[in-house]
């Protein structure tokens, strides 16, 4: 469960008076997510016909100074037809507020559900949506360094240090070995752009095989564009525990992305390495959280070993196995 900051309903109701959003009807903490506190709000709506919003209080890894980047990016993408939520401005034009001592925003609610066992058709739709996002991101002037790039992985691995082996004996050595491989092979000259960097199934809202929303841009940054496809691939093409690989989903994501955006020969050639990087990145953040979150905390810790299994798979796969043809 991810509600780190509990906000009394009266406080949310008072907060809403800054907006043309009506009065609070109900506020429910959202269990999904691990980074921020999210509430689903129902209000009477400005015209009395009822409205839903997401209220997000920023915790943990989101730096308040980065919020204008995320807001401008979503404005840019939304204006180009991407189904992304808008940050709502209050009557004085402010989108960033303080609530219960945290930075907070009122955000447009998008319909749809997150799939847990994607069909190839849903995986293809996710690939198309990612390709369209990358096309729409062209011309976006904002830039944000990826704190979780190769240098960031080294820093995170150093913080976990000997604790890796408490998760699984031998994990520390495996991480060192993988970092050395990625240092030596990480591509230097592939096209870069703004990327989502966390397009897991829980960040894609769908109705059937249609994408209705892309959410959770709080890791978005400037990095290798095809790395975003690798992150998406690692999240969509395996069983949750990483033990089973679904080739049809991989081929579908690759085909959808190639149709919507295109993938060059150089990007294809580097794809297995990019996937190894993606797998290590999530292994490291999950391992860090595993080590530093008490086992009885309200938030559900995500299993780092599910990404070690993906890493092992990617270390012995080639592009045609990963993306089909």
Ligand X SMILES: N[C@@H](CCOP(=O)(O)O)C(=O)O
Ligand Y SMILES: Nc1ncnc2c1ncn2[C@@H]1O[C@H](COP(=O)(O)OP(=O)(O)O)[C@@H](O)[C@H]1O
What string marks each residue from 72 to 91 as x (binds ligand Y by CB under 6 A) or -?
Answer: -------------x------
Q: Which stretch binds ligand X (CB under 6 A): 27-35, 121-129, 179-187, 245-253?
A: 27-35
**From the list ligand Y, ligand X, none, partner contacted by residue 110 (C-beta under 5 to 8 A by kind):** ligand Y
Is the dihedral angle over the CA atoms 4, 285, 105, 66 positive or is it negative?
positive
Exactly one of 15, 21, 27, 35 binds ligand X (CB under 6 A); which one?
A: 35
**Residue 198 binding partner per list ligand Y, ligand X, none, with a CB distance cut-off of 5 to 8 Å that depends on partner kind:** ligand X
What is the per-residue burial (b if ≥16 Cβ within 10 Å, else e) of 163-181? ebeebeeebbebbeebbee
Nearest approach, Cβ of residue 156 and ligand Y (Å):
18
Cβ at position 87, least distance to ligand X in Å: 17
Which of ligand Y, ligand X, none does residue 200 bind (CB under 5 to 8 Å by kind)?
Answer: ligand X
Q: Does 286 bind ligand X (CB under 6 A)?
A: yes
CB atoms within 10 A of CB 71: 19
Which residue of 38, 146, 232, 319 would you call a contact of ligand Y, by CB under 6 A?
38
- Count of CB atoms within 10 A of residue 157's CB? 20
Helix (H, G, I), strand (E, B) or coil at 23: coil
Is residue 145 packed enough to be buried (19+ CB in 10 Å), middle (13-18) or exposed (0-12)?
Answer: exposed
- C-alpha pair distances (Å), 324 with each of 17, 66, 143, 246: 53, 37, 33, 11
Max Cα distance, the chain (Å): 60
Binder of residue 302, out of ligand Y, ligand X, none (CB less than 5 to 8 A by kind): ligand X
Q: Is 107 in the site for ligand Y (CB under 6 A)?
A: yes
215 binds, among ligand X, ligand Y, none (CB under 5 to 8 A by kind): ligand Y
Burial code (b: 16+ CB inside 10 Å, e: under 16) for 240-276 equals eebeebbeebbbbbbbbbbebbebeeebbebbbbbbb
Q: For the CA atoms of the chain, what is the radius of gyration? A: 20
Least Cβ distance, residue 219 to ligand X (angstroms):
7
- Return the residue of 43, 122, 203, 273 that touches ligand Y, per CB under 6 A: 203
Binding partner at 38 among ligand Y, ligand X, none, C-beta below 5 to 8 Å by kind? ligand Y
**What is the distance between the alpha carbons of residues 201 and 196, in angstroms, rounded to a whole number?**
13
Distance of alpha carbon 169 from alpha carbon 155, whole angstroms: 21
Is 315 exposed, middle or buried (CB count within 10 Å of its CB: 0-12, 13-18, 19+)? middle
* Residues in a beta bridge with 84: none
Contact call for residue 75 and ligand X (CB under 6 A): no
33 binds ligand X, rule: CB under 6 A:
yes
Q: Does 289 bind ligand Y (CB under 6 A)?
A: no
Number of residues that bind ligand X (CB under 6 A): 12
Q: How many CB atoms lie within 10 A of CB 143?
A: 11
Min separation Cβ 82 and ligand Y, Å: 13
Q: How far is the CB of 58 from ligand Y (least distance, A)?
A: 9
Residue 202 binds to ligand X (criterion: CB under 6 A):
yes
106 makes contact with ligand Y (CB under 6 A):
no
Q: Does 149 bind ligand X (CB under 6 A)?
A: no
Q: Is 199 in the site for ligand Y (CB under 6 A)?
A: no
User: What are the strands, taking DSSP E only, across 192-306?
Assistant: 192-195, 204-207, 210-214, 221-224
- Contact set with ligand Y (CB under 6 A): 2, 30, 32-36, 38, 54, 85, 107-110, 114, 202-203, 213, 215-216, 218
- Contact set with ligand X (CB under 6 A): 33-35, 198, 200, 202-203, 216, 282, 285-286, 302
């Amino acid at each position: 469960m991810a509600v780190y900051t509990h906000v009394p309903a009266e406080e949310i109701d008072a907060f809403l008076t800054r907006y043309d959003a009506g009065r609070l009807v109900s506020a429910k903490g959202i269990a999904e997510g691990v980074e921020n506190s999210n509430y689903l709000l129902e209000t009477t709506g400005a015209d009395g016909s009822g409205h839903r919003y997401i209220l997000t209080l920023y915790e943990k890894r989101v730096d308040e100074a980065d919020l204008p980047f995320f807001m401008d990016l979503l404005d840019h993408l939304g204006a180009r037809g991407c189904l992304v939520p808008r940050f709502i401005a209050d009557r004085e034009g402010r989108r960033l507020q303080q609530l219960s001592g945290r930075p907070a925003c009122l955000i447009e609610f998008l319909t749809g559900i997150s799939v847990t066992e994607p069909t190839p058709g849903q995986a293809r739709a996710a690939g198309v949506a990612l390709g369209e996002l990358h096309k729409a991101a062209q011309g976006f002037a904002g830039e944000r360094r990826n704190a979780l790039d190769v240098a960031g992985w080294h820093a995170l691995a150093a913080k976990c240090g000997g604790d890796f082996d408490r998760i699984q004996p031998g994990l520390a050595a495996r991480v060192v070995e993988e970092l050395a491989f990625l240092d030596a092979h990480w591509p230097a000259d592939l096209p870069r752009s703004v990327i989502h960097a966390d397009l897991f199934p829980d960040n894609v809202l769908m109705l059937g095989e249609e994408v209705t929303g892309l959410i959770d841009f709080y890791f978005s940054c400037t990095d290798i564009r095809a790395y975003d496809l690798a992150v998406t691939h690692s999240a969509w093409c395996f069983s949750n525990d990483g033990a089973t690989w679904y080739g049809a989903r991989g081929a579908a994501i690759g085909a959808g992305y190639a149709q919507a955006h295109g993938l060059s020969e150089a990007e294809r050639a580097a794809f297995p390495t990019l996937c190894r990087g993606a797998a290590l990145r999530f292994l490291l953040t999950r391992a860090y959280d595993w080590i530093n979150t008490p086992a009885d905390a309200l938030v559900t810790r995500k299993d780092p070993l599910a990404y070690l299994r993906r890493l092992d798979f990617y270390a012995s796969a080639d592009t045609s196995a990963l993306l089909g043809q």
